[in-house]
Amino acid sequence: MHRFEKQKCFADKTNFVLLPLLKHMNKLPILLFLLFAFTNVCRAQLSPKEIARLKTDLVKAVDNAKLTDSLASKLEKLQNKTALVTAYTGTLEALRAKHTWNPYNKIKYVKVSMRTMQKAIDLDKENMEIRFMRFSIQHFTPSFLGFSKDLVVDRKEIVKHYQNNNFGIADKELIKNVAKFMIDSKRCTDQELKILKKFS
């Protein structure tokens, strides 16, 4: 096989893997609409004004690669990051996967995003918001890429919060939106749906 043919063959295989990822990454605005209903985010490290600005900028970052990089750099510089700050960093890394045109970088950023999300969960395993962030990203990532291995455990943890009526600092709007997202994801069992529908 000639060099050109080999390159074309590799490109075809790469597109087969990444085009579905691109398609699903375009749904991230839905994810971010839900995520930024959160309250009291990053309070220990950011002022109320900075928190409000961060929420606004994160929504804009969905369609702005430079802003995504800028926000990610800002959060990465914070020392002793809280679990939620770490989770927001992971979300921005997922956005970097959306924005980059390079196939290798797309895969790289998704991998980094998942590692960061795991760090956030290790810092606060009982945090429903963080579990939901990771569930949402993995939900929109094609399963054959191998980045969706935590969907079941995160789903069960999220539903457990609803079953126990334990929502931490989450407000009513967030509780309702997360329940609706979980129902619409079509990944829940009949018993889980009964629990979630009480809050949707």
Q: What are the Cα distances from residue 61, in Å, to 16, 88, 91, 119, 158?
A: 27, 12, 11, 23, 26
DSSP tag of 46: S
Q: What is the pLDDT of residue 156?
A: 98
Q: Structural domain tally of the chain? A: 1
pTM over 0.75: yes
Instruction: State mean pLDDT over 97-114.
Output: 92
Q: Which domain holds residue 59?
A: 3-197
Mean confidence (pLDDT) of the chain: 80
Q: What is the pLDDT of residue 17?
A: 39
**Number of other CB atoms surrounding residue 17 within 10 Å:** 14
